[in-house]
A and B are shown apart, each in its own frame.
Chain A
Amino acid sequence: MIPEPFEYHAPHSLAEATRLASELGEQAKLLAGGHSLLPMMKLRLAAPRHVIDLGHLQELRYIREAEEKIEIGALATHFQIESSALLNEKCPLLADTAREIGDPQVRNRGTLGGSLAHADPAGDWPAAMLALDAELQAVSAQGERWIAARDFFVGLMSTALAPGEILATIRVPTLPARSGDAYFKFRHPASGFAVVGAAVRVKLSEAGHIEQVAIGVTGVGAKAYRAADVERELVGKSPTARRLVEAAAHAADGVEPNADLFASAEYRHHLAAVYVRQALERALEKARA
């Protein structure tokens, strides 16, 4: 299992990388951790003429606090995120999501930016990005733009990134007071990917009502989505056990669930309701603590 031959480029700055990406256009593939791209190249499902390795761009490996937000460089690995003291304290949803990905070796290599750009329907990150209303910065030789997570995931393995654009920064808000978050995932027993994954961030009012709630769901449909119907059922309400069950039943409304050998569409639909409810319960517990 050997990839087709290609020309290899190893830029040492983002500016050099964007210039190469714009010059080579659709003939080139960016390489971050390589844990989605290389398996595809080995199977010859992908055979780019040029590979632009972003691995030397140390400038995109940071995790830092910026006012009420946290900024993460696209090249930060899953392991960096899982083990970041800053994230474990101020945005635990990201550290908790990272811990659920693949296995230790995969987490050492795989990157946040690579996962988002790859947009695997069973990938874990999109759920958290949606629940946090993340903003994603795309940089190209022409300049930069910020894309809201809601607009980023366009379809099956397709995103709003244009050819020549490099995902550089991911920006998320820190966890406010009286808030909690959680990621619950049904792992595929062989691959580790999300058969269903639900990410929740919830904020309570002083009186204990749900002031804000955001729910990202992955694994169910062709792309990750916000469970807007569940959110609508809950905002402004008191989170009783019964209300959570009833609201979570709408977790896959309007979505055509994937079906494969492992999980039928009906089963995924069912799992979505169960995992959304469990994630809500855990996030609420944390918000009350």
Chain B
Amino acid sequence: MNIRVRINGAAREDEVEPRLLLVHYLRDVAGLTGTHIGCETSICGACTVLMNGEAVKSCTLLAVQADGAEITTIEGLTAEDGRLHPLQQGFWEEHGLQCGFCTPGMILAAHQLLSRNPRPSRSEIRRALEGNLCRCTGYQHIVKAIEWAAEKMGGSTS
């Protein structure tokens, strides 16, 4: 089936098999390997991307369900000139990652949080990450990284 999507602002049109998962479409067809596959069973959140601004687990969506949608992956957060998004910078500054496998998903889940709630409390941050697992950091630094970004973004939601 033919689908049209915008990924990180760029329009694409592709012929895909209906059973193709969105995560495989993003990685194997669009070549955007920043979106990771962890559990493949809807639990770990490593595959989280934004679809029309909402965080979704791309291993639990068909590419055909994204027909007509706007997708943002981790690649889309970095500015054209390579400047990091405040969330990316926050993970850098506050050591929010070790192996980095969970990081793209964490950042996109956090992105949705800050767009809905620009000044979250620590417990709100933790609740917003319930769908994302990290096997390395123990989460403390991830929470701090998101606080750092919220501060930096000064409550704005870009």
Contacts and interface: CB of A to CB of B under 8 A. Distances in A.
A79 B54 CA distance: 10
Given A103-B45, A105-B56, A108-B54, A34 B18 contact: no
B112 interface: yes
Interface string A158-194: 0000000000000000000000000000000011100
A3 B43 CA distance: 18
Interface stretch (B58-66, B79-87, B95-103, B148-156): B58-66
B34 interface: no
A34 B60 contact: yes
Nearest to B42: A39
A1 B39 CA distance: 10
A83 to B, nearest CB: 8
Nearest to B41: A39
Contact of A4 (B1, B19, B59, B130): B19
By secondary structure, the B interface counts as mixed
Nearest to B67: A10
Contacts, number: 77
B17 interface: yes
B48 interface: yes
B55 interface: yes
A34 B56 CA distance: 12
A105 B65 contact: no
**Chain B: number of interface residues, binned into ranges:** 20 to 34
A2 interface: yes
Which of B60, B64, B127 has most chain A Cβ within 10 Å?
Answer: B60
Given A2-B21, A108-B55, A8 B42 contact: no
A109 interface: yes
A12 to B, nearest CB: 11
B60 A38 contact: yes
B109 A35 contact: no
Interface in A228-270: none
A102 B17 CA distance: 29
A64 interface: no
Contact of B131 (A3, A8, A41, A104): A104
Contacts of B62: 8, 34, 38
B61 A1 contact: no
A216 B120 CA distance: 33
A18 B109 CA distance: 35
Q: Which 7 A-B pairs have the closest CB atoms?
A: A103-B131, A8-B18, A103-B130, A108-B54, A105-B131, A3-B19, A1-B40
Interface of B: 1, 17-19, 21, 24, 40-43, 45, 48, 54-57, 59-62, 64-65, 67, 109, 112-113, 127-128, 130-132
10 contacts: A8-B18, A8-B62, A35-B60, A105-B56, A105-B131, A106-B131, A109-B60, A109-B61, A191-B43, A192-B130
Given A35-B42, A106-B57, 12 more contacts: A2-B21, A5-B19, A35-B60, A39-B60, A42-B41, A102-B130, A103-B45, A104-B109, A104-B127, A105-B45, A105-B55, A190-B43
